[in-house]
Structure 1
Amino acid sequence: MTEIVAGILILGGAIFTLIAAIGVIRLPDVLTRMHASTKAGTLGASLILAAAAMVFAETSTTAKCVVAVLFLLLTAPLAAHMIGRASLDRDRHPRL
């Protein structure tokens, strides 16, 4: 049963990661691309890490997966914010 749930989590994570990649390619401007990559990419990676924690079911592996998810949840919004600010600054100062 654990393998089935983990397989569903991996499939869901792969789908969300694919959606993020398609969004980065297809969306028209930097801010919408940034939104697609951070939201869907973080969810996809989190689902895949949750599946890894379920399959291996060891304390050290689960702790590493939890730390990786927390790292993603903390850094993805900050990175998106910095990318958005850089994009807006570039538009205000075209010579840079």
Structure 2
Amino acid sequence: MSISDLISAALMLIGATSCLLGALGLVRLPDLPARLQATTKPQTLGLLLILLAAAIRLEFENTTTLVLVMLFQVLTAPVISQVVGRSAYRSGAIDRDSLVVDELGERMDADARAGRGDGADR
């Protein structure tokens, strides 16, 4: 077994463990913001590690494709998490009283007082 095989196997195991922990967080955590945190970060890290392990084992042409997949994952996962959290907040699925800092609520309240509608972001 070569060094690249050992590194690839270790990265796969660490990535799979990270994905497993993210899935457990999704099931075990009590509220939506905590679940978003538990799913976005460990799942992204786990996928990146698994793709990196696969890239070590593949030829250069296939590796460039995996690097693009990694890049798109890193760019889209936080955006999707933000949109889901914001939608849940606006629909009332998140209890505003349980938040420590509520910048979106302050902004929406200020927009409502100024008569700018529903507080849509500009």
Q: Same fold (TM over 0.5)?
A: yes
Q: In structure 2, what is the Cα distance between the partners aligned to 1:2 and 1:49? A: 14
Aligned length: 91
Give the structure with the larger helix fraction.
1
Q: In structure 2, what is the Cα distance between the partners aligned to 1:59 and 1:14? A: 24
Which position in structure 2 is the counterpart of 1:89? 90
Per chain length, whose mean CA-contact separation is higher, i.e. which structure has more relative contact order (CA < 8 Å, sep 6+)?
A: 1
Summarize the alignment of residues 34-73 of structure 1 with structure 2, pairs less than 5 Å apart. 34-56=36-58, 58-73=59-74
Point out where structure 1 has 5 or more consecutive residues left out of the alignment: none
Return the TM-score normalized by structure 2.
Answer: 0.73
Report the RMSD for the aligned CA atoms in angstroms: 0.9
Aligned structure 1 segments of 4 or more residues deviating by more than 6 angstroms: none
Point out where structure 2 has 5 or more consecutive residues left out of the alignment: 94-122
Return the TM-score normalized by structure 1.
Answer: 0.92
Sequence identity percentage = 38
Per-residue deviation at 1:60? Answer: 1.3
Q: What letter matches 2:82 in structure 1?
A: H
